[in-house]
Amino acid sequence: MTVIEIPGSKSVTARALFLAAAADGTTTLRRPLASDDTEGFAEGLLALGYGVEREPAVWRVEGRPEGPAAPEADVHCRDGATTARFLPTLAAAGSRGTYRFDASAQMRRRPLGPLTAALRALGADLRHQGAEGHHPLTVAARGVEGGALTLDAGESSQYLTALLMLGPLTRKGLRITVTDLVSAPYVEITLAMMRSFGVEVRREGNVFAVPPGGYRAADYAVEPDASTASYFFAAAALSPGREVTVPGLGAGALQGDLRFVEVLGRMGADVRVGADATTVRGTGRLHGLTVAMRDISDTMPTLAGIAPYAEGPVRIEDVANTRVKECDRLEACAENLARLGVEASTGPAHIAIRPGTPRAAEIATRSDHRIVMSFAVTGLRTPGITFDDPGCVRKTFPGFHREFAALRAAWETGRPAPGALPGTAGAR
Ligand SMILES: O=C(O)C1=C[C@@H](OP(=O)(O)O)[C@@H](O)[C@H](O)C1
Ligand SMILES: C=C(OP(=O)(O)O)C(=O)O
């Protein structure tokens, strides 16, 4: 058995930083993710004048229910969509100040129009410097009135999450009617975490009612990242007789991406989801399947990475919004499978992958962390796979290559590799 300590969840860390900054009091975050996305979020808060202290396993945030302390600031959101969508929303709730936001070239291309249109409809003074609905943008904080709005979150659930978290900071509260919603389990994370910071959202079907009144500081432990765990679970599913256990992700986990193990189970892996840990064991069987991944699409590339080794075709459907992530992930997966000599075809919202025998090649990463980590799993069975930008894993898991190499070495030699924890390939 190999026990893997997975770093904290990006999604949970980003929400915790927002909620802590808006709360009354000092919040302690335990085991937050330290990666480019979350460090970028924390540094954005610092630029806005919030107090954030970072020690390796504990971050502390001084809440300011009245909004940012800085009268003006330039905030660079890097490549993180949570930062680029949540921070301008938080800033808009401040009572005074002018804040300029910008982001990486790819994040400038990624959309946020439905969110910024909603913020304006609620009374925020928000201007786009270039293209409408994209970074860079300026927010002149003067508080948000609140009220009723209709939102299309069919492109990104993050629009809804940002508005839900804004709700308690508005004067009247919010009543949001959602017409379409992708990545729905992420909204469940938001609702559960708002509850941990003292706010109960009333939900009736597609209508969310958020009361005004603000957040309470918390002592909050961040659970391991389920999307990151998917690479290690996939590695086990691919390796007959190998078993990976991830502690801290069990039946009570907040993240929908843990449901990726159900896909591995359907393909033939042994899967056990316990109270506080999940185990996947490779059985030597890997069936093809057709699966809709609209709810858990960050794990679409993980499945694409192991699909060539399945006994039958793998068809992944309902993942159109993976085209507006760190890259166009459907085309990135198809292009790289072709580089490996595997047949794959795409449509507007799907990818179909034929069984094959991947050969060594360089992966064109398009600077997407998930393309690297997914094809690293392919590399367990195909020696010689390399990456044109291996370092882009820093977005969510800077230690990925070290930890994955340790797992591989442990399985090849039967002993933990140098640097790995005894009996584990643990990333703390
Ligand atoms: O709210 C979140 O933390 C996230 C929501 C998802 O995005 P979309 O809702 O844009 O699909 C997911 O892909 C992203 O990695 C994190
Ligand atoms: C899509 C992702 O990130 P984000 O949208 O938060 O930038 C991801 O981590 O796969």
Q: Is residue 417 part of a domain?
A: no
How far is 421 from 2, CA to CA, in rounded Å? 11
In a shared domain, residues 186 and 276: no
Give the pair of three-digit tokens for residue 140: 């002149």
Q: Is the CB of 225 under 6 A from ligand 2?
A: no
For 242-255, the DSSP string reads -EEEEET-STT-S-
The complex scores an ipTM of: 0.99
Q: Is residue 306 part of a domain?
A: yes
- Inter-axis angle of helices 226-238 and 369-378, to 10 degrees? 20
Q: Is residue 77 part of a domain?
A: yes
The total number of residues shown for the chain amounts to: 428
In a shared domain, residues 146 and 171: yes
How far is 426 from 428, CA to CA, in rounded Å? 6
DSSP code at position 50: -
Nearest CA to ligand 2 atom 4: 81
Domain CATH number, residue 26 = 3.65.10.10
Element (H, E) at 75: strand 72-76
For a ligand 1 pocket test, name from 186, 325, 370 the mutation site with the most ligand atoms within 8 angstroms of its C-beta. 186
Q: What is the pLDDT along the chain (428 residues), one digit of tens a residue?
A: 899 999 999 999 999 999 999 999 999 999 999 999 999 999 999 999 999 999 999 999 999 999 999 999 999 999 999 999 999 999 999 999 999 999 999 999 999 999 999 999 999 999 999 999 999 999 999 999 999 999 999 999 999 999 999 999 999 999 999 999 999 999 999 999 999 999 999 999 999 999 999 999 999 999 999 999 999 999 999 999 999 999 999 999 999 999 999 999 999 999 999 999 999 999 999 999 999 999 999 999 999 999 999 999 999 999 999 999 999 999 999 999 999 999 999 999 999 999 999 999 999 999 999 999 999 999 999 999 999 999 999 999 999 999 999 999 999 987 764 444 433 333 32
In a shared domain, residues 233 and 183: no
How far is 273 from 264, CA to CA, in rounded Å? 12
- Among 242, 358, 363, 261, CA closest to 303: 261
In a shared domain, residues 46 and 194: yes
The residue among 216, 238, 269 that closes a domain is: 216
Bridge partner residues of 8 (DSSP): 224
pLDDT tens-digit readout, 319-342: 999 999 999 999 999 999 999 999
In a shared domain, residues 298 and 322: yes
- Inter-axis angle of helices 226-238 and 400-413, to 10 degrees? 20
For 103-117, the DSSP string reads --HHHHHS--HHHHH
Residue 205: strand, helix, or coil: coil
For a ligand 2 pocket test, name from 230, 395, 397, 400 the mutation site with the most ligand atoms within 8 angstroms of its C-beta. 395
172 is in an annotated binding site: no
Q: Is the CB of 82 under 6 A from ligand 2?
A: yes
Q: Is the CB of 298 under 6 A from ligand 1?
A: yes
Q: Is residue 428 part of a domain?
A: no
69, 62 Cβ separation under 8 angstroms: no
In a shared domain, residues 58 and 158: yes
Question: Count of domains in the chain?
Answer: 2
In a shared domain, residues 54 and 158: yes
Write the single-letter amino acid at 351: I
Count Cα atoms within 13 angstroms, Cβ side, for 143.
10
**Which residue blocks in 23-148 are alpha helix, DSSP H?**
36-47, 81-92, 105-109, 113-121
In a shared domain, residues 265 and 128: no
Nearest CA to ligand 2 atom 6: 81
Q: Is the CB of 182 under 6 A from ligand 1?
A: yes
Which domain, by its residues, includes 371? 226-397
Count Cα atoms within 13 angstroms, Cβ side, for 228.
31
Q: Which of 298, 328, 368, 389 is catalytic?
A: 298
In a shared domain, residues 26 and 173: yes
- Identify which ligand lies nearest to the alpha carbon of 368: 2
Q: Is the CB of 15 under 6 A from ligand 2?
A: no
Q: Is residue 408 part of a domain?
A: no
Nearest CA to ligand 1 atom 6: 183
- Among 428, 324, 318, 303, CA closest to 374: 303
Q: Is the CB of 396 under 6 A from ligand 1?
A: no
336 is in an annotated binding site: no
410, 1 Cβ separation under 8 angstroms: no
In a shared domain, residues 298 and 389: yes
Longest dimension (CA), the chain: 62
In a shared domain, residues 231 and 205: no
Write the single-letter amino acid at 73: A
Count Cα atoms within 13 angstroms, Cβ side, for 55.
6
Give the pair of three-digit tokens for residue 320: 């159109």
pLDDT tens-digit readout, 195-214: 999 999 999 999 999 999 99
Nearest CA to ligand 2 atom 8: 298
180 is in an annotated binding site: no
321 is in an annotated binding site: yes
The number of the ligand 1 atom at minimal distance from the alpha carbon of 297 is 13
Q: Is residue 276 part of a domain?
A: yes
How far is 176 from 347, CA to CA, in rounded Å? 32
In a shared domain, residues 101 and 144: yes
The residue among 216, 234, 267 that closes a domain is: 216
Q: 94 — phi, psi (to 5°)? A: -65, 165
Does 298 qualify as catalytic in the annotation?
yes
Q: How far is the CA of 186 from the centre of ligand 1 (A)?
A: 7
285 is in an annotated binding site: no
Q: Is residue 411 part of a domain?
A: no
The residue among 161, 186, 216 that closes a domain is: 216
How far is 288 from 315, CA to CA, in rounded Å? 8
In 157-313, at which residue ranges do the beta strands (DSSP E only) sit? 174-181, 202-204, 207-210, 215-216, 219-221, 243-247, 270-273, 277-281, 289-292
Q: Is residue 410 part of a domain?
A: no
Q: How far is the CA of 69 from the centre of ligand 2 (A)?
A: 28
Bridge partner residues of 152 (DSSP): 180
**Which residue blocks in 307-399 are alpha helix, DSSP H?**
329-339, 369-378
User: pTM for this structure?
Assistant: 0.97
Cβ-Cβ contacts under 8 Å for 4 (sequence gap 6 or more): 229, 232, 244, 245, 246, 403, 407, 424, 425, 426, 427
Residue 171: strand, helix, or coil: coil
